[in-house]
Amino acid sequence: MPEPTEDVVVRPGAMPVVDADQVLAGGLGRLLDARAAERFRGDVEPVDPVAGHIPGAVSCPTTAVQRPDGRYLPPDEARAALLPDGDLTGVVAAYCGSGVTASQLVLAGRDANVEIALYPGSWSHWVRDPRRPIATGD
């Protein structure tokens, strides 16, 4: 297990990100939705005015990369949870409700040697534009 350090190096702009236009263009290899499965399906939506998910997204709740005690899975297990088919074609990106929870997938991906870009606006931003498509169900 890695030992925590007190040294932190912050590099603004170093984290890969995508925006709504890139998601709409469809050039992503995989788009991971970090919210709970019931929010992904559109069964419930406690925060935003519209329920569902971005079409083409794959449900990957943050709990999929965590042990029961809340710690992250070992890198090989996290990689399998993030990319069950092992396909790294194209950009892998993650979103959630507001971009905060999806950051956990980005971090787990870093440890598993999978670069994951963050869609910072996430679902809350996506549903603000009624022209953007919405999907429900699995």
Instruction: Report, as residue numbers or ranges, the catalytic residues.
Output: 96
Say how far apart CA 61 and CA 99 lie, in whole Å.
13
Say how far apart CA 118 and CA 33 lie, in whole Å.
11
Distance from the Cα of residue 18 to its chain's centroid: 11
Confirm if 105 and 33 have CB atoms less than 8 A apart. Answer: no
Angle of the 102-111 helix axis to the 75-82 helix axis, nearest 10: 130
